[in-house]
Amino acid sequence: MEEKSHVVTEVAGPTSQCDVTVESRSNEQQFERYISLAGFYNFGMCLQCGWEATSIGLILPLLNGGPAALVWGVLISGAGHLFTVFSLAEMASMDPTVGAQYRWSARFARSNPEFWGFVQGWVTTFAWLVQPAAWTSYLAYQTQALISFHNPEFIASGWHTTLIMWAYISAAVVCNLYLRRILNVFETIGGICHVLFWVTCIIVLTTLANRSSPTFVFTKVTTGLTGWNNPGLCFQIGLMNQLLGLAGYDSMLHMVDETKKPRERVPPSMIVAVASNVVMTFSYVLVLMFCIGDEEAVMAAPSPLLEIYYQATKSKAASTICLFMHMLVLTTGSFNTIASTSRLVWAFARDRGLPNSAFFTPVHPTLQIPLRSLGLTIVIAVILSLVNLGSSVALSQLISIGTIGLIGSYFFPVFLILKRKIAGQHPNYGPFRLGRWGIPVNLCSLCFTAYVTFWAAFPSTSPITSDNMNYGGPVFIGLLTLCIGDWFRSGKKRFVVPTGKYAIEMAGQEEVEMK
């Protein structure tokens, strides 16, 4: 049988340095490393766009949990995501790889590395393939809200949403085709807008809006509006918008093959991108709740955020411009999401995780992008956009499945490396390491990701019916079942245990070659 595994762990003392060796893999195509440090940092910061995304999804915490869930939720979310990004950054310093979670799961599993890498790869790839549809649907809903705002006779329908999603997807395709030429400048502009618009929106609200009381902002918990009456339960459901709004930082890892000096630059860039988004999001939602105005009118509006700006400015033009600032950065984030997803699809296909993998692996020699992987990403987004023709609720359910997969994908590599640390068989680290804080940080990350995955699958309304049921959990279990079925059918024969560019030494362990 052909040897499939390339994972080698070498004898090394606990204090030895991680040596870097270049693995020669046949038929592997390489990207040009053209992304600068500033471009890479801005790529991650704009893709997360924490304050814009959290405020766009304002309706969920207002209906469940209220202002208290929104404000405290950002702090809880920020702490949890920082624990997780520190854990991922440590692994990225050892092995900066496009496959990220699935490659690390394979490399750190103490047994059956092919199985762990394969299942993790399917979960992570599926989760990211859903994200472009999620981003463009948010933009489509806000576009429809703007149309309704200026034309009250307009009645939005599913086909409107689908066509608007196609428009945003088309713009993303054009941008991605020429991404290599424009990315550094494009992301720098996006990063400047991300910060400049944050300052501008805060000034507009604090200058013009009426003030809410601190009691309202920090202690009011809304119950009963969605059928749930327990304050604790409503608070937990209301946290989800904030907990999910700061996720997705592994997207930066999917671009590492096009980034200069990835082992040194990737970890701090990931951490700074998350930390800056946490600070900006918390300060913005504080201002938003202190300046919310008429809460009932806000919750009844097609776009609660647009209504807040309108109550503050008393001008349709000014409030439209403010909402457009959010949408512009979100549009940049959607372009980045499609670019990141296409690289992940390419990496998983290169490791023979996808059926007919060879079709998706070529890199266009001129454009320097995985054109067929990009095509698959776009086709999936277009197909998901068609779900709106039947039900917007169904699209929301599909998006929730991707969210569960995305957060859940952080759990297993952290869990597997933590097991190694506890057993004294941890890897020797790269330039960035957590040291004595590694085990506590990893434990906090595991608790956080398990907590978010559970509540992301919880129904947001009651009584629970077939129409409002959150099918994310059951369908995610179904996805895992399909992955395992594919593994036994042909996956274990075709999948290559990935290692990437850097060999990882394991401390205090005899030399082992896993096959």
CATH number for region 8-513? 1.20.1740.10
Could you tell me if 334 and 168 are in contact, meaning their C-beta atoms sit under 8 angstroms apart? yes
* 72 burial type by CB count under 10 A (0-12 exposed, 13-18 middle, 19+ buried): buried
Domain map (residue ranges) of the chain: 8-513
Q: Tell me, what's the pLDDT at 3? A: 39
Query: What are the tokens at 138?
Result: 């948010």
SS3 of 506, please? strand
C-alpha 208/C-alpha 299 separation (Å) is 20
Query: What are the tokens at 381?
Result: 């987004």
Helix (H) / strand (E) element for 512: namely strand 512-513
Contacts of 425 (CB under 8 A, 6+ apart): 110, 506, 507, 508, 509
Could you tell me if 60 and 461 are in contact, meaning their C-beta atoms sit under 8 angstroms apart? no
Q: Tell me, what's the pLDDT at 501? A: 52
Cα–Cα nearest to 42, from 185, 244, 174, 248:
185
Question: At 512, phi and psi to the nearest 5?
Answer: -135, 140
Could you tell me if 19 and 430 are in contact, meaning their C-beta atoms sit under 8 angstroms apart? no
Q: Tell me, what's the pLDDT at 492? A: 85
Cα–Cα nearest to 340, from 263, 260, 258, 252:
252
Q: Tell me, what's the pLDDT at 505? A: 59
Tokens 């409030």 found at: 319
Helix (H) / strand (E) element for 486: namely helix 472-486
Amino acid at 12: A
C-alpha 83/C-alpha 85 separation (Å) is 6
Q: What is 29-68 written as a DSSP string?
A: ------B-HHHHHHHHHHHH-HHHHHHHTTHHHHHTTHHH
Q: Tell me, what's the pLDDT at 392? A: 67
C-alpha 138/C-alpha 143 separation (Å) is 9
Amino acid at 360: F
Could you tell me if 103 and 281 are in contact, meaning their C-beta atoms sit under 8 angstroms apart? no
SS3 of 344, please? helix
Amino acid at 38: A
pTM higher than the cut 0.85: yes
> For every one of its 515 residues, what pLDDT tens digit does the chain have, with 9 covering 90 and above?
343 434 433 323 333 333 333 333 434 556 777 777 777 888 888 888 889 988 988 888 999 999 999 999 999 999 999 999 999 999 998 888 888 889 898 888 888 888 889 999 999 999 899 889 988 998 999 999 999 999 988 888 889 999 999 999 999 998 888 766 777 788 888 889 999 999 999 999 999 999 999 999 999 999 988 888 999 999 988 888 888 778 888 888 888 888 878 888 889 989 999 999 999 999 999 999 999 989 899 998 989 999 999 999 999 999 999 999 999 999 988 888 998 999 999 999 988 888 888 899 888 888 888 899 999 999 999 998 898 887 666 677 777 777 788 888 899 999 999 999 998 887 778 889 998 899 999 999 999 999 988 888 888 888 887 777 777 778 788 888 888 988 998 888 888 776 555 555 565 543 333 33
Q: Tell me, what's the pLDDT at 99? A: 85
Helix (H) / strand (E) element for 513: namely strand 512-513
C-alpha 96/C-alpha 92 separation (Å) is 4
Beta bridge partners of 512: 9
Query: What are the tokens at 299?
Result: 């919750």
SS3 of 149, please? helix
